[in-house]
Chains A and B, each alone.
Chain A
Amino acid sequence: DAGITQSPRHKVTETGTPVTLRCHQTENHRYMYWYRQDPGHGLRLIHYSYGVKDTDKGEVSDGYSVSRSKTEDFLLTLESATSSQTSVYFCAIRGTSGRSSYEQYFGPGTRLTVT
């Protein structure tokens, strides 16, 4: 168990409203990631963080922003939700078993529905 929690676990929201998803880790990992999972696409990286206040874009970052003000929390914000952002969102942390191994450990996911 990598000590990762996500909140909320389920959310239904209306088009145009702002939404913030939270990822919390208890093990002081430097790297944290946000993905979305959609049928036929696998997992796609939205944004990631390599330290407090240090973030970078992934392959599907449009319409999303992130913040990391402390090591344990990584927030994903949809400024104005759209139906195309209906998805399952996963947070992950990068393990520390070896500098070159890169494995990641995932939270339980947040199912977001935008109506």
Chain B
Amino acid sequence: GNSVTQMEGPVTLSEEAFLTINCTYTATGYPSLFWYVQYPGEGLQLLLKATKADDKGSNKGFEATYRKETTSFHLEKGSVQVSDSAVYFCALGRDDKIIFGKGTRLHILP
């Protein structure tokens, strides 16, 4: 079946550090891939997406590349800010539904 596995948190970094949050997936066919972000007390917001192999999604300094050969979609940012503190969800879209990973909580220290 379809599933998403992402690194467990919490992840704690200092401001301006490099961020990687790992995500791998299992899916039949060719799913779309997403990263969502959830700030405290809010709903999920779509951060970026990729719809086919080798696509790179990017937004707000975050990037992720759809790697079919390694079934991965790792989230990266070159220099994190305190305002990036949130929970990040990797997800795949298939058959009119989205399957979410369990989320990774990110803390950025000033």
Which A residues have a C-beta under 8 Å from some C-beta of B? Answer: 31, 33, 40-45, 48, 50, 58, 90, 92, 94, 98, 100-109
Q: Which of B12-20, B45-53, B72-80 makes up part of the contact surface?
A: B45-53
* Bitwise interface map of B from 38 to 58 toward A, beta carbon under 8 Å scored 1, else 0: 000011111001010000000
Q: How far does the alpha carbon of A34 sit from the alpha carbon of B28 in the complex, in Å?
A: 24
Q: Does B89 contact A (CB under 8 A)?
A: yes
Q: Which 8 pairs show the lowest CB-CB distances between chains A and B?
A: A102-B93, A106-B43, A42-B102, A43-B100, A106-B44, A42-B100, A102-B32, A108-B43
10 new A-B contacts, CB < 8 A, other than A42-B89, A42-B103, A90-B44, are: A33-B97, A42-B100, A44-B100, A45-B97, A100-B51, A102-B31, A102-B32, A102-B93, A103-B49, A109-B43
Contact of B51 among A40, A98, A105 (CB under 8 A): A98
* Bitwise interface map of B from 79 to 100 toward A, beta carbon under 8 Å scored 1, else 0: 0000000000100011011101
